[in-house]
Amino acid sequence: MEKLEHQDCPFCRNKTLTLTEDEQDIPYFGKCYLFSMNCSVCKYNKSDIEAVERKEPSTFTFEVKSKKDLNVRVVKSSEATIKIPQLKLSVTPGPASEGFVSNIEGVLERFKRIIESERDNADDDETRTKAKNLLKKLWKVMLGEVPIKVIIEDPSGNSAIISKEAKIEKLKVK
């Protein structure tokens, strides 16, 4: 693992940014580089993942049918979009998008934090109620009571859902 400390933070301008690069061999995915930037003062955080081997733009679809499916490994690049159609949830790439290695449960936890933040910061009752209802549905998914599909679309090919049950298709570029 390579680490560069005391770099200039692009946000707070302090020399408190740490850059990290790590090479990992992820089973059934291959070698990849994990990159991150973290500022100890303003808490700026950015991460990404890049496969060593060039891959095709792909769409991965996985059906979560039980609680054990929450353990399925997920690799998401900063260029990928994650969708859960049954809950009308999606996270699209943009300047704040991060790459990560996690599992289905970790992906759902990320959505949960976003929805909780929306609920807590909402100015109107309708938005709060919608967020609360969505959190209830998400809770049932995490208990294994409600099946969903998790879809990752990645034009860079640096993402994956690592399971024999995951359906992989070539990404149709619009």
Phi, psi of 126 (to 5 degrees): -60, -45
How far is it, in rounded angstroms, from Cα 66 to Cα 13? 47
More confident residue, 143 or 27: 143
What are the chain's domains? 1-53 (2.20.25.420), 54-174 (2.60.120.1040)
Can you say whether the dihedral through the CA atoms of 85, 108, 112, 94 is positive or negative? negative
Q: What is the pLDDT of residues 58-115, one digit of tens each?
A: 999 999 999 999 999 999 998 999 999 999 999 888 766 788 999 999 999 999 999 9
